[in-house]
Amino acid sequence: MESKKLLEAVQNGDVSALLDLLEQDPLVLDKIIVLGVSETPLHVASVLGHAELVRELLTRSPGLASELDSRGNSPLHLAAAKGHGEIVGLLLSADRAAASVRNLDGRAPIHVAAIKGRDDAVGRIIGAGGAKSARELTDRGETALHLAVANGKMEVVRLVVGAVGGRDRDELLNRKDCDGNCILHIAVAKKQTETIKFLLAIPGANVNPINKNGSTPLDVLKQSPRDLQDMEIEDSLLNKGALRSKSIYPFDHDHDPDPDQPQVPQLWREAPTSPLLVLSKTPSRNKPPARKKENEISRHRSSLMVVASLIATVAFQAAITPPGGVWQNDLTVDENGLPVKDPHYAGTSIMAHNQRAEYGLFFIFNTMAFLSSLSIILLLVSGLPIKRRRWMWVQMVTMWIAMTAQVITYFIALRHMSLDKTEADVYPVLKDVTEIAVLAWFCLMGLVFVANLARVSLYYLRKKGYIKKKKKREDEARALSDDAGEDELV
């Protein structure tokens, strides 16, 4: 009963009712502490902003300031989140250590105030605890500045930077979270132009911090979706000497620096725009040999996939609709009901019935074309590391087999559907054309095979050292131009 009346008094902010209850039972507040109620009257009063009631509660029972609710929030957490600056001051006066208490989300009172943009509460917490309060970290290594920037609370950023000076301010500005991000990384990722300009104007802010992904703020900008503000942000960064990570580490673009180690070598800090460094960073107009080789293999893979898919489609269609079609009905007995000498059944091939030898060849070569093309498709989509030239050679040979089998299948079907040799004089001409065309095809395939075999042989002979590699004139000219460029720099 008393607890219900106490709760009503606190919710209404009725100080007189509270005093009457305390006169009736001076230990009512101590009983709440002992019983471990999740939300004390001080929690409720702090959320609702009843400053006079908070003052009276702290006078009668200062221990309430250190009590936590079911989420690990102290009264200071709740007052800071709501932005009740006067109550924050009262609670800090009663228990200054409450400013360092973290709730179940791993956040101290200054963090929840920064997220909500409660600059008055943030200012009072820093005023009571100094730079130590501003350096409080969440479980993810974030300071109040990280959270304020992430949530776009520019006024809190200005307040914290202005309240903390000297080395403490520089430490806060360059502090990294668990992902290695400084507040400049976050501001650039969020495209907060005003915050970026404000941070860049501070002398102690590092313009080129590198996070655990090896990215500087300028890298973050380049990697993010394009925006109308990008040009303005990029100009602001470049005017302050911002660099890409590959410019800071020109010899190791995949460098992932230790966040506890110096991020930029001293030599490059002193002369980031040295002509020698600029020369080393200038990309060559010619693609590297590895990149050119990779592009060439990629084109070959694409061509193989297209041709193999086409051959597989044609071979499948030829299998289910062979030349001459299929029988539409069964024929097992004649008109008199007697068994026929050569029966056939619906759905079977007419060519297989009338020309069994030719159909056998047609079936064999069509199956070879179909399975060869499917083998190529399987290799290409299998995910196996088949990007080396010897694997491409295997696939090319398989493609030759598929194409040759398809050509032979075509001529078998063509001759089957043409007039019989006993009924027309065109048959000898057709036979000659077919034989010549097949012969010409085999000659072409043999020529291609011999040429590729010669290339492979030369490659291995040069690799083993039996034949010396020829030095290209382009390489010599490029070397001469590089030497001339170095002479000019010297």
Question: What pLDDT digit, counting tens, does each position of 8-37 carry?
Answer: 788 888 888 888 887 777 777 777 766 656
Instruction: Answer whether CATH 3.30.930.10 is correct for domain 2-199.
Output: no
Let me know the angle formed at the C-alpha of 161 by 157 and 164, rounded to the nearest 5 degrees.
140
Q: How far, in Å, are 7, 175, 210, 309 from residue 303 at the CA level?
A: 78, 52, 42, 10
Domain positions in the chain = 2-199, 200-257, 289-473
pLDDT for position 473 = 47
* pLDDT at 485 exceeding the cut of 50: no
In the predicted model, what is the mean pLDDT of residues 378-407?
A: 77
Residues 215-229 as b/e (b if ≥16 CB within 10 A, e otherwise) read bbbbbbbeeeeeeee
Question: What pLDDT digit, counting tens, does each position of 94-107 carry?
Answer: 999 999 999 999 99
**Reported confidence tier of residue 430, pLDDT bands at 50, 70, 90:** low
**254 Cβ contact list (under 8 Å, min separation 6):** 214
pLDDT for position 387 = 55
**Reported confidence tier of residue 419, pLDDT bands at 50, 70, 90:** low
pLDDT for position 257 = 46
Q: In whole angstroms, how large is the CA radius of gyration of the chain?
A: 41
- pTM reported for the whole predicted model: 0.52
* pLDDT at 334 exceeding the cut of 60: yes
Question: What pLDDT digit, counting tens, does each position of 287-319 carry?
Answer: 445 555 566 667 777 788 888 899 999 889 888
Q: What DSSP state is assigned to residue 253? A: T
CA 144, CA 111: separation in Å to the nearest integer?
5
In the predicted model, what is the mean pLDDT of residues 233-249?
A: 88
**Reported confidence tier of residue 261, pLDDT bands at 50, 70, 90:** very low
Residue 315, CB half-sphere, CA atoms under 13 Å: how many?
A: 27
In the predicted model, what is the mean pLDDT of residues 187-197?
A: 93
